[in-house]
């Protein structure tokens, strides 16, 4: 596995979040979440390196990370499926390890983040997997359209659930919505790059 050097970056909002958590007495909780997110991203990095793609950067946000990869847009669908599920696989391994530990809080966070990442909402791993899965059966353009439709539908369900049953996930909803808009903004670029 060549090119091991990876550029890790912690977003400014993460530092602010850590400071607020420290002042409010939730520092341990945030450290647990950060550890799980880091371990999750290692899963993606593992498969990216196996397939010899170049990692541009790994950036950490308060509730997740984004691994930016420089790879052809028409790369192998099977490799895309493995990369998208790499974080989930590593979290499952972590979950098995935690079964033998006496840390219910860390186990709870791991399960919650694992299930959240499986949602087919842009930019979560579930949406990346779904997009690659659609590409196995449909053209790139049709699979991209289905990917957006499914993502928006599940985002609405997630948002409605939070309106009626929870009031503490509006920031996450906002971030997901912004990510969806960014994909819309880059849609023409993605199509042109694919055709080239």
Residue where a domain terminates, one of 78, 96, 117: 117
Q: Let me know whether 79 and 130 are in one domain.
A: no
Same domain for 103 and 133, yes or no, is no
d(CA 161, CA 176): 15
Residues 152 and 112 in one domain: no
Domain range holding 40? 1-117
- Considering only CA atoms, which of 105, 35, 47 is closest in space to residue 80? 47
138 in the same domain as 42? no
**Same domain for 173 and 85:** no
Which residue, of 100, 117, 134, is where some domain finishes? Answer: 117
Q: What pLDDT does residue 159 have?
A: 86
Residues 23 and 35 in one domain: yes
Whether residue 84 is found in the same domain as residue 124:
no
Which pTM value belongs to this model?
A: 0.79
Would you call 114 helix, strand, or coil by DSSP? helix
Residues 3 and 70 in one domain: yes
CA distances to 18, 64, 115, 145, 180 from 160, rounded to whole Å, are 28, 22, 18, 23, 17
- Strand residue runs (E) in the chain: 8-10, 54-61, 64-70
Strand order in the sheet with 8-10: 8-10, 54-61, 64-70
| pLDDT at 190 exceeding the cut of 60 | no
Claim to verify: residue 108 and residue 127 sit in the same structural domain: no
Residues 80 and 14 in one domain: yes
What is the tens place of the pLDDT at every residue in 91-148? Answer: 999 999 998 888 888 999 999 899 989 999 888 899 888 988 898 888 888 888 898 9
Residue 1: band (very low, low, confident or very high) from pLDDT cuts 50, 70, 90: very low
Based on the fold, state whether residues 102 and 131 are members of the same structural domain.
no
Total domain count for the chain?
Answer: 2
Domain match, 149 and 86 both: no
Joined together, the tokens standing for residue 191 give 């199509």
């Amino acid at each position: 596995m060549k090119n091991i050097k990876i550029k890790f970056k912690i977003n400014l909002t993460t530092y602010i979040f850590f400071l607020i958590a420290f002042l409010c007495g939730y520092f341990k909780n945030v450290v647990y979440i950060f550890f799980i997110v880091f371990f999750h991203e290692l899963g993606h990095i593992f498969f990216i390196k196996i397939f010899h793609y170049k990692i541009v950067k790994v950036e950490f946000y308060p509730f997740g990370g984004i691994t930016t990869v420089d790879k052809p847009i028409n790369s192998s669908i099977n490799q895309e499926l493995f990369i998208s599920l790499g974080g989930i696989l590593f979290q499952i391994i972590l979950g098995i390890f935690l079964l033998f530990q006496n840390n219910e809080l860390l186990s709870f966070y791991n399960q919650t983040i694992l299930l959240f990442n499986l949602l087919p909402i842009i930019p979560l791993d579930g949406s990346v997997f779904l997009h690659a899965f659609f590409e196995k059966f449909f053209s790139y353009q049709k699979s991209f359209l289905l990917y957006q439709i499914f993502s928006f539908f599940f985002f609405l369900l997630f948002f409605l659930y939070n309106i009626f049953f929870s009031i503490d996930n509006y920031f996450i909803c906002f971030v997901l919505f912004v990510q969806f808009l960014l994909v819309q903004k880059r849609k023409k670029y993605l199509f042109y790059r694919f055709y080239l």
